[in-house]
Structure 1
Amino acid sequence: MQLGQIQQTALLTLYARALDSRLSRPILGDPLSADIASQIDYDFAKLKVKPNLVYSTALRARRIDDAVRAFTTAHSEAIVLDLGCGLDTRAARCAPPSGVDWYDVDYPEILDLREKYLPGRSHLVAADLTSDAWLEQVPTGRPAMLVAEGLLPFMPGDTFATMIRRLARHVSGGELALNGYTRFAAWTMKYHPTIKALGIQAAQGFDDPREPESWGSGLTLAGEQLLCRDPLVAEFPQPLRAATRFMALGTGMSRQGSRVLRYRF
């Protein structure tokens, strides 16, 4: 299987969710990810996935799932756009109402894998997210839940903000949920063993959770969850649990870890 460096991050997060599902007390509990990973001919060991990535990936996915479920429960005829979806099984985990249309958006190579391992679960939209040509495949006039998990650091310059601005104008209001990297956290990602193994230079983020309100998208901050303060940290193994709780002592430190941000527009 031939995938580019960025595309291989889909396998990284898939494997992290698969490892979580095999724990005696999983945080996310996503056996479908484990099933998919077992079918893919790929040397997952070279990704060097450590426990901190397994637990943080599972926890952020769980909290973003919570946001998606809340929105689709309140808007039973909404659309969901999972931007840079990779091989995430979020549509299966969230099981939205029948009136909700789900769109998984990613590179064509990733969508080929979704066709093989997750057939018929969503509308697939092949896209270069730095352009706007793909928007013609997205319906207008319906509230939208925009999901951007793990996407921000891999979009160059201001292309992430530009994408959100285009989407906010295209759909009929809604919410955006993402894991918000600070500038420092995004910069340090390139030194993480898993990212370094793939040769990716990730460097994009923002510190103030209200910064996206200035993007010209009509965004209003609806919530910031600092995941190092999440009750499920109690399920982390030591010494990861102690290190995470130490980060939770200050807001500045807490923001350098995983956080889930929600915006209304």
Structure 2
Amino acid sequence: MSNEKIKPKLNGTAETMLQCFYARAMHSRNPKNKFRDTKAEELIDHIDYDFSNAKKDTAMSGGIVARSVVFDELVSDFIRKNPDCTVVNIACGLDTRFYRMDNGKITWHNLDLPETIEVRDSIYQESGRVSTIACSVLDPAWADQVKVRGKMLFIIEGLTMYMKADEVRTMLAIIRDHFDNAYVCMETLCPYFVKKENIEKSIQATGAIFTWGANSFADLGDIAAGFRKVKDDDIARGMETLNPIYKLVMWMTIVHKFAEKILVFEKA
């Protein structure tokens, strides 16, 4: 990659990927913290963007890192059990998880809208076992670009809170109808926080709006038709990485009630 900085032209939901990228990079740069994202550290200085809102938004950055920790654990466990699997990282943004998870065998597709993939490709220039797909997740055409099949893991992180229920249903139906052995890890917002994006000021500044949430796989109902529950998880466990004080309150039901959920399910 050249020393020339990339100036992303994004807004709304697509722009939120920059806040997430910044949060992981800055957390990782602090030697006192356990979570490491060396790829984000390496690349953050190549992006020409005003990160001042993200810098001040501790609510956003804390949540991003906490969910990254839990997703990393879930994805790592799946890859350990299925070392030759194919992963589709939906709404990837500038996510760097492949570089933390790669075992030298997996096939990894980073899927996002064309304007987002244009930015990603200018920074990462990925090919081979890790590549990009420029397509809406609501367009079934993306499924045809996934050539290596077998054990399939679908990561859906930082997306569903900006979707409508029917859009989530469409997305899951495409996965169900086009892939066997489909295993899904999907983040959902606690419904209480829908319409409360003002809590995370950097997200509000992009114009992105929270529109949907669910507390459990059971809450999905027919949205997840054709899938069965593996487990309901949440990001509260990841909060311990940020601050050991959370170990003292993890037993409290209210912590898990309002934490963002990570629903794990598979094709029935």
Does the pair score TM above 0.5?
Answer: yes
Q: Deviations over 1:86-137 (max 9, x none)?
A: 0010100111341x21000011222122222222252210111222222211
Report the equivalent of 2:206: 198
Partners of 1:46 and 1:170 in 2: how far apart?
40
- The secondary structure found in structure 2 opposite 1:150 is coil
Confirm whether residue 120 of structure 1 aligns to residue 100 of structure 2. no
Matches for 1:69-218 after TM superposition, within 5 Å: 69-98=76-105, 100-120=106-126, 122-139=130-147, 141-212=149-220, 214-218=222-226
Task: Classify 1:245/1:149 alpha carbon distance in 2 versus 1 (closer, same or farther; 3 Å).
Answer: farther
Higher mean C-alpha displacement, 207-216 vs 13-22: 207-216
Relative distance call for 1:23 and 1:140 in structure 2 (3 A) is closer
CA 1:217/1:5 → structure 2, altered by over 3 Å: closer, same or farther?
same
Q: Distance in 1 between matches of 2:139 and 2:186?
A: 20
RMSD: 2.4
Paired letter, 2:253: G
What is the alpha-carbon distance in structure 1 between the residues aligned to residue 208 and residue 241 of structure 2?
A: 32
What TM-score do you get using the length of structure 1 for normalisation? 0.87
| Highest RCO, 1 vs 2 (Cα 8 Å, sep ≥ 6) | 2
AA aligned opposite 2:252: L
- Are residues 235 and 206 of structure 1, via their aligned partners in 2, closer, same or farther at CA, if it must alter by over 3 Å? closer
Cα 1:79–1:234, aligned 2, differ >3 Å: closer, same or farther? closer
TM-score, with structure 2 as normaliser: 0.86
Residue 155 (structure 1) shift: 1.9
Q: 1:129 to 1:97 in 2, by over 3 A?
A: same
Q: Which runs of 5+ in 1 are unaligned?
A: none
Partner of residue 27, structure 2? 20
Point out where structure 2 has 5 or more consecutive residues left out of the alignment.
1-6
